[in-house]
Every structure is written in C-alpha cells, then in structure tokens.
A = this chain, B = another copy of it.
Amino acid sequence: MVPPSILSPVTRHAPLAAAILGGLRDVEEIFAKQLRSDLPAVNELAQHVERYRGKMLRPTLLMLSGIASVGAGDGAPIKKAHRICAAVGEMIHMATLVHDDVLDEAETRRRGRTVNSLRGNETAVMLGDWLISNSFHLCSLVGDTAVNVLFGETTNTLCEGELLQLSRREDPTLDEVTYMEIVRRKTAALVATCCSLGARLSGASDEVQTALGLYGERTGCAFQIQDDVLDLVGEEAVVGKTLGRDLEKGKTTLPVILLLRGASPWERSEVLQIIHRRDGAALLERLRRSGCLDEAKATAQSLVESAKSALDVVPEGPARELLRELADEAVRRQA
C-alpha cells in the first residue's frame, strides 16, 4: 500500500498526481524486492524499517522532475531507470534515518519505535549499513556507471555534512554560513540529485537538469530549516517523532543562531546558560519573544521562492506547477 504521500495536500492536477502515485507503487515494489534476504533475522528488520517510509518526497521529486523537464503532462517520460533511481534515493534516505536515530538517541520515528530503541545501537548501525549497501547495489542495476558516480558523490557529501555538524556540536559560535553549508550537504544534496537525475534520465537539456538541481537544493534547504523549527516548536503527537533532540544533542540550528546573533552580551550569556541547562521551554520562550522563529521561517520561505524561480527555464505545464506547490509545502507542513 502506498503510504500517506506528500502529494496528498496537492490535488489540483489529479491526472498527474495519479501517474506519480502509480510510479510510487512501482518504487515500493522495487524497494521491497531489493531488501528481500534469505535470512529470516534480516527480513524481520527490513519489515520493521518499511514502516519508516513516510512522505516519499525524494521518489516523488525524481519522477516529477523527469516529467516536468520535458514538459509532459503525464507519466509518459518515466522509465524503469527513473523508478530504480527513485527507490535508491528513498533507500539512502532511510539508511540516514536509521543512523540519525542512533546519533540522536531517538526513541520514536513515524509513530513507531526506532530500531536502536528496540534492538540496540549495534543492530541499528548494521541495518543502516545494509540499507546503504543495498542502495548502491540497486543503483548498479541501472547499468550506467555515471549514475553510480552521481549517487556516490551525493552520499559522500551527505556524510560530510553530518561530520561537519558533529564537529561543531556544543559550539554556539556556529554561524549562519556554516549552518547552511551543513544543511546543503546533509539534506539538500540528495534532494538536488533526485531532481537533476530525474531530468537527466528523461533526456532533458543540461540547462533544465541544472535548474532542477538548483530547485531541489533550495527546496531541500528550506525543508531542513522547517525540520529544525519543528524540532523546537512542534508537537510530538503531530510530527510523529522524538523532538527537542537538537538542543539535547548540542546542535545549534538557525533560530538559535539568529537569537544569539541579535542578542546583547548580557542576553547572550543568559541564552548560553539556558542551552547549557537544556531548558527547552525557556529557549522556546526567548525564541518566540525575539521573533527569531519567524525570521528562520522567512529564510526558509525565501529559499522556496528562489527554488520556484529556478523552474522558470523548465517547460510550462502541470508538472512544473506541482513542483512549485511541493516547494511551498516543504515549509507549510507541520509534520
């Protein structure tokens, strides 16, 4: 069964949405088939992880970019290679979720228990490795090493973003430029690759591939800023995962960077005390009062506008329209 899709809030282009949902069903099949093992112990874990599947943002964007890039209005340009790469993108994302939960000591993900909380960190580390390995194996089945090179570069970048973030934990001097570099690498790079690769597999021009890559990068950055805002202000019952982890794990995110930047030396020292005490309620109160949450949301919104502008060189049509709506949804979402 197709999970609640990111398409659900967007119903205006029903025939196109139906084509994407059909594609997502194929992606799910490819995904499940790739993860079938001859070992029952492994299959059990694979089934648990299936439940992590959420909005399928990356496969959706890959296929939609494949359609939009050549100005189609339906699923005609979507080939087997699109579906395989869409499954690869989702599998890489899922591997990062499993390892992120180890890093964050999170207990809940998509309303279920995390692998680390159920089976221990060791199993979660190894399961994540198995998912990464399977994503590369699956990717090789496209039969074009350029695709392997592209995904390999992307996951290198993704890991480097995480390593950069880890190296700056408990560091209140982290500035906005470095924060954006972390976000671009750890989140936006994979989204950008999905979008540009979708176009490339459809045979779109270099200009359109680049534009869709930019669209994906900016949308991905906006998506991560919204994630970081939700980690501060969201409700666990709505978001469906453990929140407040950034403060707990010493990650300085955009709202806090803005708060510290605008603070007087005296206020700054108070905020640092609050962070040191891991006092989420006091931090949230300061953030609300200072307007820094709104400022962070405005940054995300301006990235969304810039993502939509990048689409100007993409042929007009319902797929381009849907991409624009999905960019808006990245910051509108509450979960």
The residue from B39, B127, B163 contacting A41, defined by CB atoms under 8 A apart: B163
4 A-B pairs besides A126-B163, A127-B159, A137-B155 with CB distance below 8 A are: A99-B125, A102-B125, A133-B152, A137-B156
Contact B130 A163 (CB under 8 A): yes
Measured in the bound complex, the distance between the Cα atoms of B144 and A256 in whole Å is: 47
Measured in the bound complex, the distance between the Cα atoms of B133 and A159 in whole Å is: 8
A123 at the B interface (CB under 8 A): yes
In the complex, the chain B residue whose C-beta lies closest to that of A41 is B167
The residue from B42, B156, B166 contacting A163, defined by CB atoms under 8 A apart: B42
A5 at the B interface (CB under 8 A): no
How near does chain B come to A66, taking the closest CB pair, in angstroms?
21
User: Which residues on B sit within 8 Å (CB–CB) of A265?
Assistant: none
How near does chain B come to A43, taking the closest CB pair, in angstroms?
10
Contact B39 A164 (CB under 8 A): yes
Contact B145 A144 (CB under 8 A): yes
Contact B121 A99 (CB under 8 A): no
How near does chain B come to A33, taking the closest CB pair, in angstroms?
13
A134 at the B interface (CB under 8 A): yes
How near does chain B come to A178, taking the closest CB pair, in angstroms?
10
Most buried by B among A120, A126, A137: A126
In the complex, the chain B residue whose C-beta lies closest to that of A95 is B129
**Chain copies in complex:** 2
User: Which residues on B sit within 8 Å (CB–CB) of A103?
Assistant: 122, 125-126
Measured in the bound complex, the distance between the Cα atoms of B88 and A136 in whole Å is: 14
Contact B129 A102 (CB under 8 A): no
A32 at the B interface (CB under 8 A): no
A47 at the B interface (CB under 8 A): no
The residue from B133, B138, B166 contacting A132, defined by CB atoms under 8 A apart: B133
User: Which residues on B sit within 8 Å (CB–CB) of A122?
Assistant: 102-103, 166
User: Which residues on B sit within 8 Å (CB–CB) of A294?
Assistant: none
Contact flags (1/0) for A73-116 with B, using CB distance below 8 Å?
00000000000000000000001000100110000000000000
A residues 138-187 in Cβ contact with B at 8 Å: 138-145, 148-149, 151-153, 155-156, 158-160, 162-164, 166-168
How near does chain B come to A123, taking the closest CB pair, in angstroms?
5
User: Which residues on B sit within 8 Å (CB–CB) of A129?
Assistant: 95, 99, 128-129, 132, 155, 159, 162
A37 at the B interface (CB under 8 A): yes
In the complex, the chain B residue whose C-beta lies closest to that of A166 is B123
Measured in the bound complex, the distance between the Cα atoms of B144 and A137 in whole Å is: 13
A335 at the B interface (CB under 8 A): no
A57 at the B interface (CB under 8 A): no
User: Which residues on B sit within 8 Å (CB–CB) of A148?
Assistant: 136-137, 139-140, 145, 148
Measured in the bound complex, the distance between the Cα atoms of B147 and A143 in whole Å is: 11
Given contacts A133-B152, A137-B149, A143-B145, contact A160 B42 (CB under 8 A): yes
28 A-B residue pairs with Cβ-Cβ distance under 8 Å, sorted by A, are A37-B160, A39-B164, A42-B160, A99-B125, A102-B121, A102-B125, A119-B166, A121-B121, A122-B166, A123-B166, A129-B155, A130-B156, A130-B160, A130-B163, A132-B132, A132-B133, A133-B155, A133-B159, A134-B152, A136-B152, A137-B153, A137-B155, A139-B148, A140-B145, A140-B148, A141-B145, A142-B145, A144-B145
